[in-house]
Every structure is written in structure tokens, then in C-alpha cells.
């Protein structure tokens, strides 16, 4: 975001990035509306929206079956929500938000805010640690933190926490850099030159959502996988 965030102070040393909240709500509203329309009139012979929804669900069923196993299907609500939300949020950054003038900052993709991506990373961390403990009990921590030495234990602890946060930084940096690039070229050449970069950013939006979701799936698979 070239002009920073629209920061609203709530008092008691608390503040929020209102621009991120607005575009996040817009992304959620789009997904809720799609889910409502796709499931409103379910039938054996699906309409177009139901076919799209079933196709998306089929992709996640195949993905979790291959990476986690049949038991991995229970993780589809989280993984599908992550992918669809991140993709929608990334694509929102390609809309001409600069037409709407705010007091400070400007509207952009919510995923170009490190607070947003970090919140998703924390959610993934809590989820896969919980699933690991649920499946393995105390053995999960014994597996993650070996007793070969204090240094190795600290390294493994650091690695477990850093995994999802590396996703947060990657997603934030790529989306922010892409939007800044498009804004720069729009400012220099307002018509045709920015178009290829905007099309490329659509591709990047999909790839970044896919990478976040796939690595989250891998972390869950590692957490719940039983040693042979």
C-alpha cells in the first residue's frame, strides 16, 4: 500500500488498520454469498454454481487423501477456507481502490497487511499443534523436541514456530510488492503498460494462496502422521 494504512485508535493504546478490516469483510462477504448461492438449492443434477463448489471440494478431497490420508478430510474446512479467503483477498488488491479516498492510507488487499497474514499463521500453528497432541498425546512433543541436547531442542522448537510465520512473511511480501509495482507503473504509464503486470499479479495471487494452503496441509500431515 503506497500511502500506508488507515489507522483508527480505539483508546487504551489499541488501534486497528481499518482499511484491512474493510477489505477483509468484503472478501468474507463474497465467500459467504458464493457458499449461500451454491448450496441454496442442492440437487442431484447440479447447476453451474453447485458444480463449481463440488469441483472445488473434489480438489481438496484428492489433496488431503494424497497428503494426509482418508482421515485428512476432516481438515478440509480449514484448508479450503484458507485457500479461498487468501485467493479472494489477493484478487481484491487488483481493484481500483485508489478511486475511494480515505482520510489516511488507501484500500488494498488485506493480505498486504502483516497483521492479517500473521493472524492466519497463528491460527495454523495452533491448529496443527492441537491436532498433533490430539492424535499422539504427549508423544507429539517428545517427537518434536528430542532430548539429544538443549541446543537441538531449542532449534526444533524454533523451527516448529517459524514454519507458519514464514508463510505469513512470504504472502505479505509478495502481495505488497506486487501492488506497489502495479501502482508505480500506473503512476508512470496510466494505460496499457500496467496491464501485463496486473495479469501477472492475478497469477501470483493464485500461487500464493496455493503455497500457503499446501504448506499448511504439509504441517498438519507432519503433526498427525503416526511413526511406523
Segments in the chain below pLDDT 70: 1-5, 11, 96-106, 139-156, 176-198, 200, 226-228
Beta strands in the chain (DSSP E): 7-11, 14-17
pLDDT of residue 203: 77
**The model scores a pTM over 0.85:** no
pLDDT of residue 176: 67
Residues 6+ apart with CB under 8 A from 216: 78, 79, 82, 124, 128, 164, 167
Which of these, 78, 102, 126, 127, lies nearest to 20 by C-alpha position?
A: 102
- State the chain's maximal CA–CA distance in angstroms: 61
3-state secondary structure at position 155: helix
**Cell numbers representing residue 225 in the block:** 502422521
Q: Tell me: the pLDDT tens digits for 163-207?
A: 777 777 777 777 766 666 655 655 555 555 556 666 767 777 888
pLDDT of residue 210: 86
151 close to 158: Cβ distance less than 8 angstroms: no
pLDDT of residue 25: 92
Find residue 20's DSSP bridge partners.
Answer: none
Phi-psi region of 11 (alpha: psi -120 to 50; beta: other; left: phi over 0): left
Amino acid at each position: 500500500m503506497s500511502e500506508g494504512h488507515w489507522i483508527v485508535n480505539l483508546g487504551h493504546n489499541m488501534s486497528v488498520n481499518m482499511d484491512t478490516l474493510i477489505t477483509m469483510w468484503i472478501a468474507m462477504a463474497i465467500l459467504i454469498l458464493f457458499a449461500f448461492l451454491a448450496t441454496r438449492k442442492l440437487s442431484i443434477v447440479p447447476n453451474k454454481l453447485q458444480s463449481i463448489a463440488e469441483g472445488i471440494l473434489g480438489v481438496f478431497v484428492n489433496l488431503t487423501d494424497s497428503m494426509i490420508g482418508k482421515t485428512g478430510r476432516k481438515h478440509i474446512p480449514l484448508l479450503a477456507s484458507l485457500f479461498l479467503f487468501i485467493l479472494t483477498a489477493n484478487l481484491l488488491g487488483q481493484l481500483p481502490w485508489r478511486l475511494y479516498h480515505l482520510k489516511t492510507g488507501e484500500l488494498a488487499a488485506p493480505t498486504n497487511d502483516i497483521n492479517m497474514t500473521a493472524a492466519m499463521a497463528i491460527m495454523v500453528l495452533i491448529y496443527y499443534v492441537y491436532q498433533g497432541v490430539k492424535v499422539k498425546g504427549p508423544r507429539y512433543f517428545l517427537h518434536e523436541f528430542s532430548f539429544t541436547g538443549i541446543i537441538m531442542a531449542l532449534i526444533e522448537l524454533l523451527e516448529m514456530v517459524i514454519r507458519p510465520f514464514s508463510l505469513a512473511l512470504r504472502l505479505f511480501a509478495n502481495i505488497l510488492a506486487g501492488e506497489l509495482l502495479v501502482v508505480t507503473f500506473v503512476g508512470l504509464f496510466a494505460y496499457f503498460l500496467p496491464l501485463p503486470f496486473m495479469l501477472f499479479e492475478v497469477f501470483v495471487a493464485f500461487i500464493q494462496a496455493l503455497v500457503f494452503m499446501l504448506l499448511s496441509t504439509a504441517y498438519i500431515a507432519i503433526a498427525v502422521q503416526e511413526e511406523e
